[in-house]
Amino acid sequence: MEKLQVHFLGGSGTVTGSKFYLHTAEIKILVDCGLFQGVKELREQNWERLPIDVSEIDYVLLTHGHLDHCGYLPLLVRQGFRGKILGTPPTLEIARIILEDSAKIQEEEADKANKEEYSKHHPALPLYTKEDAAFTLNFFEHVEEGKKVSLSDRCDATFLYNGHIIGSTYIEIDLFGKRLVFSGDVGRQVDELLDPPKQPKWADYLFVESTYGDRQHPDEDVGQILTNLIKETLYKKGTLIIPSFAVERLQSLMYQLWKLYKKNRIPNIPIFVDSPMGNNVLEVFKNFPNWHKLTIEEYHNMCNHITLVSSYAETWETIDDPRPKIVIAGSGMVTGGRVLTYIKQLGDMETTSILIVGFQAEETRGRKLLEGATELKIYGKYVPIKAKVNHLESLSAHADQGELLTWMGAIKNIPEKVFLVHGEKDAMETYKDKIHEKLGWNCHIPMMHEVVEILL
């Protein structure tokens, strides 16, 4: 028998910072390498060295390119990692865009904090720099979806389409005759832009996300909700601000708004997309047409209908534009990016509406808005919030409880153990009970930094 140690270094008891370290005598693998977001105690861990010998890691396997799955990579490299970082071609392209943008934002925010002296750190430093991010790209190596990759004599990995965002996969690791399945973030069964997720057929050990393990997405008429909000914005002669993740959510919103206009359900209201990273992601959609449903004609028509904001000067021009308008800007949880400038300048106006879409981690500004916050701390100062806050859950890129059970339902065997990860405590506890009720499987909810030993 061979001994495997699984170190839960992130995405355990929380939705962010996914990092799962597989340690054997033959091979050492890190599945995902994400940044923590949200709760301060978690974010502070981004500044700490990992409690493992990083130089021993042979491979990092990326399920997809979101920040909470790839954003720690430059720090991993700084700590001595010199192995290979594997992902599908669109995943590595998304990861490149996200790492470069993350480094740029961190440098800018550190510089702003030093100039305006609102940080308790003197000087305030970026978590990592653009140079760190650029150096990390040297270790990227793409793999084809569905093709088995040999990692060592007795270890193979296969990356399989699972929706969620462009390039996203779940990963099957065949190790010493056993199969470990890492779900990554499972996408929706019905999605405007993406196909339904593929499903694993066998799993000796299953590591499954549980972001929405405690709920079903509401059966909302997205088009009607957007139409009503836009009509209200026109009536108030105000601004509809939509904080958005740059990958998938932003493109999905663009597509929804373009369809509504094309069907004459909304007038030709100015729509601004202010997310340099999101604009770069649009190029990924263009370059990888086999990974999504948009035709090249639809892609160009959608882009031509919307104004893409690039420079920060254009951000201020958009804010000063007196016309009723829609602004989609990053970041999706209001943790950074240009949406902060819009909310800082327009959030105290009753003519402004804010539409929150998708999951909001604990203690993020997005979660605080949903919980009824009347002020937000932005760039060291408190900004009053008089804007009307709305929530649209059904545009989430994450499978809900029923969809997760459907995804797992194709597994023909009974896994020896199911590990629930990438979820908040209540969601995981509820999902654990539901799995036991529906499938009778043995589930475990690992804690942060827990080490589980498995004999294979």
- Say if residue 173's pLDDT is above 80: yes
CB 67 within 8 A of CB 163: no
- Say if residue 46's pLDDT is above 90: yes
CB 340 within 8 A of CB 377: no
Q: What is the pLDDT of residue 119?
A: 66
Q: What is the pLDDT of residue 248?
A: 81
C-alpha to C-alpha distance for 374 and 387, rounded to whole angstroms: 9
Q: What is the pLDDT of residue 138?
A: 98
**Comparison of pLDDT for 362 and 174, the residue scoring more:** 174
Query: Is residue 126 classed as helix, strand or coil in its secondary structure?
Result: coil
**Maximum distance among all Cα pairs of the chain, rounded to whole angstroms:** 70
pLDDT over 70 percentage in the chain: 99
- Say if residue 447's pLDDT is above 80: yes
Q: What is the pLDDT of residue 396?
A: 86
- Say if residue 134's pLDDT is above 80: yes
Is the peptide bond between 200 and the residue preceding it cis, with omega within 30 degrees of 0?
A: no
Answer positive or negative: Cα dihedral of 18, 105, 289, 314. Answer: positive
The whole model's pTM is what? 0.91
Please choose, from the candidates 112, 101, 66, 290, the residue with its C-alpha nearest in 3D space to the C-alpha of residue 193: 290
CB 74 within 8 A of CB 83: no
End-to-end Cα separation, the chain, in angstroms: 6
| Angle in degrees, CA 137, 142, 147, rounded to 5 | 160
**Comparison of pLDDT for 153 and 395, the residue scoring more:** 153
CB 144 within 8 A of CB 288: no
- Say if residue 177's pLDDT is above 90: yes
Question: Judging by beta carbons within 10 Å of its beta carbon (0-12, 13-18, 19+), is residue 99 exposed, middle or buried?
Answer: buried
Least confident of 113-122, 239-248, 342-351: 113-122
HSE value, Cβ hemisphere, 13 Å, CA-based, for 41: 4
Q: Choose which CATH entry (3.50.50.60, 3.90.1150.10, 3.40.50.10890, 3.40.190.10) describes domain 222-392.
A: 3.40.50.10890
Residues 209-226 have a mean pLDDT of: 94
CB atoms within 10 A of CB 213: 27
SS3 track for 198-266: CCCCCCCEEEEECCECCCCCCCCCHHHHHHHHHHHHHHHCCEEEEECCCCCHHHHHHHHHHHHHHCCCC
Answer positive or negative: Cα dihedral of 289, 292, 295, 296. Answer: negative
- Say if residue 250's pLDDT is above 80: yes
- Note the pLDDT tens digit of each residue in 340-377: 999 999 999 999 999 999 888 888 999 999 999 999 99
Question: In the predicted model, what is the mean pLDDT of the chain?
Answer: 94
C-alpha to C-alpha distance for 445 and 17, rounded to whole angstroms: 16
- Say if residue 249's pLDDT is above 90: no
pLDDT over 90 percentage in the chain: 85
DSSP string of 10-48, one letter each residue: ESSSSSS--EEEEE-SS-EEEE--PPP-SSHHHHGGGGS
- List helix spans (H) across 273-327: 276-287, 296-305, 312-320
C-alpha to C-alpha distance for 105 and 74, rounded to whole angstroms: 14
Alpha-carbon distance values, 258 to 264, 313, 326, 356, 377 (Å): 10, 26, 12, 19, 33
C-alpha to C-alpha distance for 136 and 90, rounded to whole angstroms: 17
CB 343 within 8 A of CB 230: no
Sequence spans of domains, the chain: 3-215+397-455, 222-392
CB 67 within 8 A of CB 94: no
CB 276 within 8 A of CB 241: no
**Comparison of pLDDT for 67 and 108, the residue scoring more:** 67
Residues 62-68 have a mean pLDDT of: 96
- Fold for domain 3-215+397-455? Metallo-beta-lactamase; Chain A (3.60.15)
- Say if residue 239's pLDDT is above 80: yes
Residues 229-254 have a mean pLDDT of: 93
C-alpha to C-alpha distance for 37 and 105, rounded to whole angstroms: 14
Residue 121: band (very low, low, confident or very high) from pLDDT cuts 50, 70, 90: confident
Please choose, from the candidates 356, 167, 144, the residue with its C-alpha nearest in 3D space to the C-alpha of residue 248: 167
C-alpha to C-alpha distance for 126 and 104, rounded to whole angstroms: 9
- Say if residue 245's pLDDT is above 90: no
Alpha-carbon distance values, 113 to 122, 290, 342 (Å): 9, 43, 19
Residue 276: band (very low, low, confident or very high) from pLDDT cuts 50, 70, 90: confident
Residues 76-86 have a mean pLDDT of: 98
Q: What is the pLDDT of residue 108?
A: 85
Return the exposure string of 306-318: e unless at least 16 CB atoms fall within 10 Å of the residue's CB, then b.
bbbbeeeeebeeb
Query: Is residue 337 classed as helix, strand or coil in its secondary structure?
Result: coil
